[in-house]
Amino acid sequence: MFLLLAPLAVQAAEPPAHIKPEPITVDNPADLEDLNALRAVIAEISQSVTACMDAGGNPQDCQCQNYNNIKNFNVLYLQTLAAHPEWEGKIVFQNSVSEDGYAMGISTSFAGLQSQYEANHLLKCP
């Protein structure tokens, strides 16, 4: 089952109190490009699955309608980890500026993305 992940705040369950992963701050343009490509496919899937469900579709059918995008996420996730193995299981943080010009931060939990990647393999589509 594909979880609906918000593109700007992807989080996994809270780790045990004794394990607090230090976020990795990314500011290198090539790294940001990799991170933003992953976020873009997550946003596309989330918007499409949500629209389908809002129109009365059931979760599995809506996810299966997005199966190619989900496969793209899986490939992109593995490619991103291959390029950035230090991101595995970490929170990756990026400073950004909103459309209104306000400073903001964007975090992506790679532990959460790993869970999503694993869950995607359980999805059964015709």
Q: Is residue 17 part of a domain?
A: no
pLDDT grade for 101, boundaries at 50, 70 and 90: confident
Grouping H, G, I as helix, E, B as strand and the rest as coil, residue 96 is: strand
Q: Is residue 126 part of a domain?
A: no
Mean pLDDT, range 107-114, rounded to an integer:
93
Give the pLDDT of residue 19: 56
Strands of 91-97's sheet in order across: 9-10, 103-109, 91-97, 24-25
Q: Is residue 18 part of a domain?
A: no
Q: Is residue 72 part of a domain?
A: yes
Give the pLDDT of residue 21: 66
How many domains does one find in the chain? Answer: 1
Q: Do residues 78 and 69 touch, judged by C-beta distance below 8 A?
A: no
- Rounded to whole angstroms, how far apart are CA atoms 110 and 103? 23
Mean pLDDT, range 16-28, rounded to an integer:
75
Strand ranges (DSSP E) for 1-126? Answer: 9-10, 24-25, 91-97, 103-109
Question: Which structural domain range is residue 114 located in?
Answer: 25-120
- The whole-model pTM stands at 0.78
Q: What Rg, from alpha-carbon coordinates, does the chain have?
A: 15
